Structure 1
Amino acid sequence: MRMIPITRMAVVASVVVLAACSSPSADPSSDDSVAAAQLTSCGLELAFDRVPTRAVTLEQGSTEMMLALGLGDSMAGTSYLTDAVAPEFADAYEQIPVLADQYPTAEQLRGADPDFVYSMRASAFAPDAVGERSELRDLEVPAYLSSNDCEDPNLVSAEGGFEQIFAEVTDIATIFDVADRGEDLIDAQQEVLDQVAASAQALDGVEVAWIYSTINGAPIVAGNAGLPQTMTELAGAENAFDDLDAQWT
């Protein structure tokens, strides 16, 4: 089979689909808006009395998710840009303060005076990064973490699918009281997925290797338990490492 190596994959594969969708026009909630949202994120209970107006995103995936929902005006900071921002989000991104090239320190985060923190990677909430989510919650700063990378691996689903991304879109849209935008974004993404599935036969016989990075020369590749496997199957191809029972290994 013909193998296509894919290097420098985005930290979260959802960005691939988000980049295909247009960002809604900004309509930020006012300080008086009430979200009254309560949800669980990777086992941590989060409660929102009001719509956040000073959100900070800790890596590119969460940043582009916010921008895809038209929430740039509700952001007080961003960080950890790993690739070029999708063109349709570039102008909005330029208006957001960049707190750090990688993860901000706890002091840098607090200096932005956030009322919501959001990341798709658990490493953002390490003690040597911004600190644990429970600590932020105790400071009345709810911190949302994507379900694909919970601090407790037992909370991560064994199968990665777009249903998880859609659920996350719904969560963020609920927190910011923009449910209609969330529904529109999900519909747009589903349309892209349907188009890919309809053309899947064009990739028959193609074997794909998803390479995230390397450690001491050894590649970190996607196994059969994550979104890369789902994307590969959707496109009608095969994962070269589908015998590995892991998201990345």
Structure 2
Amino acid sequence: MDSLLPSARETAEMILLTLARAEENGATLTRDGLARELNVSSALPLQSLSAESLIALDATGTLSLTPAGRERARALLRRHRLVERHLTDVLGLDWTRAHEQADQLEHTVSAAEEAALSAQLGNPDTCPHGNPIPGTRAAAPTAARSLAECAAQTRGVIARISTETPDALRHLATLGLLPNVAVVVENQAPFGGPVLVRVGHSHYALGRDLAARIWIDLNR
């Protein structure tokens, strides 16, 4: 991967990050799905990652991280989430914009700068969206479930939000659906309908795609 041109190397890193996030959320991606998500047409980054045994491709076209790829991806994920915290905690950037800005900056952060960032921030466990920072004691709660998976009357506290779309994050912030906020799943509408939730005294209907990106800790 280090032999790639800078633009291709950044794309390869984004592929590793995307696969790591999918794995974190219990999802998988095909080669075609990854190309659509990242708007990547060149096969060169995938070929490079495969040649370095960082990713594997099965007979169905599903991509997965190898142990070496997972280690590299976790290092990238750590850097990305530390940059997000710096942007929100130190520079005061709104949390809805932190992800896309971190995407631009993470590729330029050295190992020494990463260590300094972590120390300056007090070695945080999570990013602004509640997702765990690799290399810390934090981990996704074992009892966490997405709102789309929860039965009616399930109660919990929002542990993390895995969407990275600014508009979606702004919408959730408007509704008060933020990390560490208590929420109740009131009902799951049939036939792929919305997920009905209550936050305090307010009731909301969430599309299933968005509900699947909100993870609650059932033990809190």
Query: Is the shorter-chain TM-score for this pair beyond 0.5, marking a shared fold?
Result: no
**Larger helix percent:** 2
Structure number with higher relative contact order (C-alpha < 8 Å, ≥ 6 residues apart):
1
